[in-house]
Structure 1
Amino acid sequence: MFSMILNKLDKAKVLPRISDTERQALNAGSVWIDGELFSGNPDFRSMMEEAYPALPPEEQAFLDGPVEELLRRVDHWELHNTRRVPDEIWTFLREQGFFGLIIPKAYGGSGFSTLGRSAVMMKTAQLGPVGTLVVIPNTLGAAELLIGYGTEAQKSHYLPKLASGEFVPCFGLTEPTAGSDAASIRAEAVVFKADDGQLKLRLNFTKRYITLAPIANLVSLACQLHDPDNLLGGGEQPGITVVLLEKGTPGLRLGDHHLPIGPFDNGPIHGEDVVVPADNIIGGPTQAGQGWRMLMEQLGGGRAVSLPAGGVASAKAAAAAVGPYSMVREQFGIPIGWMEGVTAKVARTAALAYVLESSRVYVCAGVDAGHHPPVVSAILKQQTTELGQQLLIDGMDVMAGAGVMQGPNNILGSAYISAPVSVTVEGANILTRTLMIFGQGAVRCHPYALATLGALENKDVRAFRKALLGWMGHSIANVGRGVVRGLTRGATVKAPVADETARYFKKLGWASTRFALLTDLAMFCVGGKLKQRGQLSGRFADALSWMVFGVTTLRRFHAEGARKEDLPVVHWALKYCLLEIQRAFEGIYANFDTPVVGWMLRYPGRFFLKINPLSSGPGDAEDRRVAAAIQTPGEQYQRIALGGLGSPRDDEPGMGRLLHAWRLVSDSAEPQMRVKKAMRHGKISAPDVVAAIEPALAAGIISADEAQRIRAAETARRAAIQVDVFDQADYYRDSLSRHNDNVHDGRDPGMARAANQ
């Protein structure tokens, strides 16, 4: 019977097929909390026991010392305009070991944890090209690949020089015809035997969008390896391979720039008949054809580091700015932060900054513990960069004119301009969401899908029988759980705590059961067409993402001691997470257009889904309490917003002067209220608070000390809301010509050229 079922399923192509590159991606990394959520019956106790650590003292000292000093040394506005990292900053980065955070101490590096590297990247994320200099050497590229796969000779030669900054690396992957579909690269390396008897590679390639390429002197190049004479013993087409190329190698061309919307060094790499020894393959000739596996294994955890750090930095920067600004800026005689529309934006920013930071710490700690979860890492990359961008937009909305006028005092403008970069790189978010997260998760994280597919492809009836029976039992159990949990609204789910957050564990468990049931329906009813149903897959990805965020938020709350003052933020955040899961389910039900099952989901299913929702989201009354968390100076503001981003001095433009004004305004708030009350009741006649200070002092409404505090606060307030002004000499640029008009290479001096010219 099972043989017949196997053959029918195979002919009908009910389940999705897996290509060789997809198989390597599926086999890379590990299943983690995502597997619990796909099970339909997650073990929240084990998920709450995952580490949520503070940084080791050595790494915290680096953040408080060299990283803080770097923030003070970099002139953001100068860097934004010149796009050139000053020599003294290069020297500081090298001397302080910024290039070797990922490299073990045995090779001259710092050997930082994943969480430590993420913290450094988050703190330097707003430094434009300087931040990029910190990120690239310490993420996917030469150092990480050499540590994981390099020969001892390669490690001994390259790692100390990478740690010292003598070698500046870049990673050559993207091509004009191979972007998110990185497996389709056309860069070619052909193996041949040279006259001296050595095995060598001849490479020809065109790469683009390569970060640090214009200033790099060591390239890790991904290419298709061809070995027509089988000299390496791995066949004529070993596959994708990573090869090290040093600047100065004949035929290798570096130095040209693209012009990203956020300034950082990025450009093309060209190679024409570049010849290097076969020993330049990372891992040596025995690792020929293993490049795709290397990339997938490293991205399994690595995708959770750099880009999420930048996304979380954007969210925290938005929170750090809009909370204070909404209280410093007044209109109609009150802080704009008291207006409900603004309050809603501030509350959302505060809560989601809390959520995203929880995910960064939780997942980085998981990677440090030995997990390499590609699905969870993809969620972090897609969601943190997407939400970080959205929160910057909200921040610009709150700051209005002060947000869009550029200059040294603009706080969010540079991050806002640069945000699309993170959304598009390392797998564009639109494809990460609609193809990768659920497409990979449904097969890899499902308890029986991968085993069933393997048995189906291998025509292994015994393995197929075992996997299919297990899958059937899994589905039947989830049907039963789904009915019970739906009727009881998750009351039967075991929560690992007994406090008022227990309700959220129960609802997340209920959501997981529904998610698992819908996954099974999608696998069998949509089957092989799932790859083409990107919108449907994207909604599954959304549901999974917000379940992960719900778990990490609860873990943070309890790891930090279940602070009572954080409860309003946690309630808002969990209600929002559950609302997003609910919306994802509604989208799945509405667009599950298969016969019978689709009709049941679209009509009776959607009806019951709407009358028995997971959440209707946080209410308006909750916004006020959550917004207050970042509108009042103190430890809570530091933890949720500014913490991890640096400590601006009062005399610094932008954030420094805003925080200075905010503290003074907060300190004088109570006597100011007395003055304004007296003005409203006609006890004092004055056009504004400043003019009312002397009459209020004379009337005994405020003391001399309070008068001085109000005066200082109002002076600082007015300074903090000013924007930069430029004279004509600073504003206008007469041309785009090159600095040396005598060297045009046959082109007009102000014209760019195509990357392949």
Structure 2
Amino acid sequence: MSIQIFALIALLAVWGLAYVGAPLIVWTLAAGLLLIALKLLGVLGAGGLAIAGGVYAALALLLNLRPLRRMLVTRPIFAAFKKVLPEMSATEREALEAGDTWWEAEMFRGRPDWSKLLDFKYTPLTPEEQSFLDNECEALCKLCDDWKVEFEQKDLPEAVWNFIRERKFLAMLIKKEYGGLGFSANAQSAVVTKLATKSITLAVTVMVPNSLGPGELLMHYGTPAQRQRWLPGLVSGKEIPCFGLTGPEVGSDATAMPDLGIVCYGEHEGQRVLGIRLNFSKRYITLAPVATVIGLAFKLRDPDGLLGDPSKTDYGITCALIPAKHPGVQIGRRHYPGAAFMNGTIHGRDVFIPVDWIIGGPAMAGKGWRMLVECLSAGRGISLPALAAAAGQTAYRMTGVYGRFRRQFKVPIGKFEGVQEATGRIAGFAYILEAMRVMTASAVDHCAPSVVTAIAKYHMTEMMRKTINDGMDVMAGRAIQQGPRNFMATAYKATPVAITVEGANILTRNLMIFGQGAIRCHAYVFPEMEAARENDLAAFDRLLFGHIGFSINRAVRAFTLGLTGARLARAPVDGELAPYFRRMERFSAALAFCADLTMGVLGGKLKFMERLSARLGDVLSQLYIASCVAKFYLEGPKTQAELAHARWALDHCQYEIAHAFDGFLRNFPVAWARWVMRTVVFPLGNHVKPVSDARNAQVADLILEDTDVRERLSWLVFKNGGVNDPIGRMEHAWAVGRKTEAAYQKFYRLAAKGELEGDTVAERLRNAVARGLMTPAEAEQAQAYDTVRYDVILTDDFSPAYIAGDYAAERGEDINQAALRARVA
């Protein structure tokens, strides 16, 4: 065997060991075999073998005898690591430790176990939950007139409030043993989505008590006495809860709150008791104007050691439950955040409460931040993603109707390529949004996935914003003119609320997703940090060498998969989706390597380089989103229409991954590391393309048709409001149009050729029948189509008195008829 062939075989063997992630002992044995082979081939003489064998034996003992390795190798690294390890505050630690890792950890670690994704079960709706959607939700939507709520009343009608209370809409998450509905997260998500397709105010009113609020905190942390005191009222609706967290000085950084409670003695109900004297100012608090019980977050201080620990003064963030009518508590004025849901301020000056009002009792003093982070991470995966999914479902269904009925230059606008650029995005994003909604909500039913819910909140609300903007562009004047016919304007105005609350999107993307994900999802980083904190050299040694092998393996895998177009990666399925799974595995390995090298090179400085970390977070996010899409497709009917939407979504995700990697690499501040990472991630260059015009046109055409995917992506839209409901009238037009469109097309072609006499549609139809060009039945169908077509494109107009606030000046039917009477053609 020639030396060249042997060298090639040896190189391939080394590469193979690195690619499969062989353990250290296998590398040691392989190195020994290499020395023997070199001797047999005559490359090494006796002297060379002796020298090489001595070096080999020394390294083999040093690396494989752990006590020796810890003493000579690991100990100095351990000391250096502890010096450069960034300090972590108690609140940062609590945020990191809160919640669970889930599928995102598989994508972050570079070798996803696809069976975990394929075997994961969506949470099915129980018969009771499905019945609630089909009956209670339908009835509630029918009670609500969104135009009157937003423009006239600035509040839900009393009948709606009563129905919400009576049917336990505010107690979906409270367990049945306490009288609540005990719904799954997936069911809660479906309820909020359906209500949001009717009214944002209605949906927000219902979702907030079922997200971060007293009900959930009591369920998880409350004492038996607190649950007995408050849960019956929360279940019956007698008690309306709100939670006071944000304030003038406090937005996404809740730890900066100035609201303070001092432990002291005071008088309560005629007795001297140990309690807390509070001063606080909260704003942006949903349901505050109508709340009867307030969950309050504040910083707790015990200067006199009255809680039993004289050495501890500052306890940190604490949560308490306070009746809204408690002395000193002031429910302030209302905000108006782009929609009419109740939102306002809460103030308190020298408010004294017993220490027993701390949620969980005095033992939970100072543990409020952990409580809030855990509850918020779960709620973040339900409420705002549900609003986003509602926007996607409504836009998909309604732009399909409008794009088919509205004509310009004698062509349905849905057929114009410029319009299809927008409607294709609407279709693709609607598919992604529903895939993420059901996946993330089902995950919340299985665990408390903090990183996944942050990904869902940020990306779904951003897609919501883009989808609504595209819908507004397509429907143009039909969307911007507000009135009883408009189903877009309220969502457009309220979108910034979803972007801002439960962690502003800028903070979520730039700090949370990668900052939390890199530490929690990584197989080694957080355990290494914990080993350093606990001064555990043995654990750190084991983790360090595992980490080194991990990084080498991911680098080699990413480079190899990049060179081969991911053909060596595993795909858990055959067919159309197999290449997407392989490319996801390639980018997963690239993310793992880049994250490792980045943290190693930049260390604690990465914490302040938000644009870099955000791009790595984007990679992780898009890998999760692509997983949701693939899972959703595989769980569905797998029709050609479904496949077209899934491929659009996966093409979009993989382009966004490559785009994020490219931006990260171009801006990485260390030249040699930048070169290494670009070589590994894009060894042949970045050739990932955005969604093609052909694929975008395919889904844009499908949005205009009756397909199985149309129903799957809009199944939660409230459709039964009748012909005077903004969505109901579009649904009526679609139903009529599908039966009569052929006759109208025949009439339209005749009219376009100038073969019919008359100035109006009715006159031309009579002429067509008289001349035998159409039958009476066809003319009747064409007239029916034209009637609903015209209704689809109409907008509302109002009298000056009504606009000025005299809402008795015009009734709904007057407004409706005014638009119809304006027709001249």
TM-score bracket relative to the smaller structure:
over 0.9
Asked whether the 8 Å contact 2:737–2:785 carries over to 1, the reply is: yes
Paired amino acid for 2:165: R
Paired amino acid for 1:523: M
Secondary structure of residue in 1 paired with 2:703: helix
Superposed counterparts of 1:92-491, under 5 Å: 92-125=163-196, 126-194=198-266, 196=271, 198-234=273-309, 235-369=312-446, 371-491=447-567
Paired amino acid for 2:275: K
Asked whether the 8 Å contact 1:215–1:255 carries over to 2, the reply is: no
Distance 1:128 1:573 in 2: 26
Superposed displacement of residue 634, structure 1:
5.0
Secondary structure of residue in 2 paired with 1:224: strand
Paired amino acid for 2:110: G
Deviation string 1:584-627 (CA, Å, 9 cap, x unpaired) is 1111111111141124556x678746x443x3122212223212
Paired amino acid for 1:674: K
The corresponding residue for 2:121 is 51
The corresponding residue for 1:80 is 150
Deviation string 1:315-368 (CA, Å, 9 cap, x unpaired) is 222212211111111100010000011112112111211111111111111111
Asked whether the 8 Å contact 1:455–1:461 carries over to 2, the reply is: yes
The corresponding residue for 1:531 is 607
Superposed displacement of residue 16, structure 1:
4.3
Superposed displacement of residue 664, structure 1:
2.6
Distance 1:31 1:185 in 2: 28
The corresponding residue for 1:750 is none
Secondary structure of residue in 1 paired with 2:314: coil
Deviation string 1:162-195 (CA, Å, 9 cap, x unpaired) is 0111111111111211211111212111112347
Distance 2:181 2:681 in 1: 54
Asked whether the 8 Å contact 1:675–1:689 carries over to 2, the reply is: no
Superposed displacement of residue 456, structure 1:
2.9
The corresponding residue for 2:586 is 510
Asked whether the 8 Å contact 2:118–2:631 carries over to 1, the reply is: yes
Asked whether the 8 Å contact 1:48–1:555 carries over to 2, the reply is: yes
Instruction: Tell whether 2:701 aligns with 1:628.
Output: yes
Superposed displacement of residue 684, structure 1:
5.2
Distance 1:327 1:691 in 2: 24
Task: Identify if the C-alpha distance between structure 1 residues 680 and 99 changes in structure 2 by more than 3 Å, giving closer, same or farther.
Answer: closer
Distance 1:606 1:94 in 2: 55
Instruction: Tell whether 2:765 aligns with 1:693.
Output: yes
The corresponding residue for 2:70 is none
The corresponding residue for 1:33 is 103
Asked whether the 8 Å contact 1:589–1:605 carries over to 2, the reply is: no
Deviation string 1:669-694 (CA, Å, 9 cap, x unpaired) is 33333344445666656778765434
For structure 1, the residue ranges without an aligned partner over 5 or more in a row are 735-757
Task: Identify if the C-alpha distance between structure 1 residues 702 and 577 changes in structure 2 by more than 3 Å, giving closer, same or farther.
Answer: farther
Superposed displacement of residue 313, structure 1:
1.1
The corresponding residue for 2:642 is 566
Asked whether the 8 Å contact 2:332–2:347 carries over to 1, the reply is: no
Paired amino acid for 1:353: A
Paired amino acid for 2:520: R
Tell which deviates more after alignment, 534-543 or 146-155. Answer: 534-543
Secondary structure of residue in 2 paired with 1:262: coil
Task: Identify if the C-alpha distance between structure 1 residues 692 and 510 changes in structure 2 by more than 3 Å, giving closer, same or farther.
Answer: farther
Tell which deviates more after alignment, 51-60 or 329-338. Answer: 51-60
Tell me how large the CA RMSD over aligned residues is.
Answer: 2.0
Superposed displacement of residue 668, structure 1:
2.8
Asked whether the 8 Å contact 2:451–2:516 carries over to 1, the reply is: yes
Deviation string 1:101-137 (CA, Å, 9 cap, x unpaired) is 1111121211111111111111112424332221121
The corresponding residue for 1:754 is none
Superposed displacement of residue 638, structure 1:
2.1
| % same residue | 40
Secondary structure of residue in 1 paired with 2:278: strand
Superposed displacement of residue 87, structure 1:
1.6
Instruction: Tell whether 2:689 aligns with 1:616.
Output: yes
Distance 1:30 1:729 in 2: 56
Secondary structure of residue in 2 paired with 1:270: strand
Distance 2:556 2:672 in 1: 20
Distance 2:281 2:398 in 1: 42
Paired amino acid for 2:579: R
The corresponding residue for 2:577 is 501
The corresponding residue for 2:31 is none
Deviation string 1:17-49 (CA, Å, 9 cap, x unpaired) is 422111111111111011101110111121121
For structure 2, the residue ranges without an aligned partner over 5 or more in a row are 1-72, 807-825
Instruction: Tell whether 2:739 aligns with 1:662.
Output: no
Asked whether the 8 Å contact 1:171–1:220 carries over to 2, the reply is: yes
Instruction: Tell whether 2:796 aligns with 1:719.
Output: no
Paired amino acid for 1:96: R
Paired amino acid for 1:160: P
Secondary structure of residue in 1 paired with 2:556: helix
Secondary structure of residue in 2 paired with 1:238: strand
Distance 1:281 1:680 in 2: 74
Distance 2:754 2:175 in 1: 71
Deviation string 1:65-97 (CA, Å, 9 cap, x unpaired) is 111111111111111022122221121111111
Asked whether the 8 Å contact 1:80–1:128 carries over to 2, the reply is: no
Secondary structure of residue in 1 paired with 2:333: coil
Distance 1:387 1:20 in 2: 34
Superposed displacement of residue 197, structure 1:
5.2
Task: Identify if the C-alpha distance between structure 1 residues 691 and 163 changes in structure 2 by more than 3 Å, giving closer, same or farther.
Answer: same
Asked whether the 8 Å contact 2:571–2:578 carries over to 1, the reply is: yes
Asked whether the 8 Å contact 1:115–1:364 carries over to 2, the reply is: yes
Task: Identify if the C-alpha distance between structure 1 residues 698 and 506 changes in structure 2 by more than 3 Å, giving closer, same or farther.
Answer: farther
The corresponding residue for 1:753 is none
The corresponding residue for 2:724 is 652
Distance 1:591 1:687 in 2: 64
Paired amino acid for 1:104: K
Superposed displacement of residue 374, structure 1:
0.6
Asked whether the 8 Å contact 1:356–1:549 carries over to 2, the reply is: no
Superposed displacement of residue 475, structure 1:
0.5
Asked whether the 8 Å contact 1:168–1:218 carries over to 2, the reply is: yes
Distance 1:608 1:704 in 2: 69
Asked whether the 8 Å contact 1:329–1:335 carries over to 2, the reply is: yes
Superposed displacement of residue 663, structure 1:
2.9
Deviation string 1:684-712 (CA, Å, 9 cap, x unpaired) is 56778765434444555543322211111
Secondary structure of residue in 1 paired with 2:780: helix
Paired amino acid for 1:288: A
The corresponding residue for 2:713 is 640
Deviation string 1:637-689 (CA, Å, 9 cap, x unpaired) is 22213x11212344124222222223333333333333444456666567787
Distance 1:21 1:591 in 2: 31
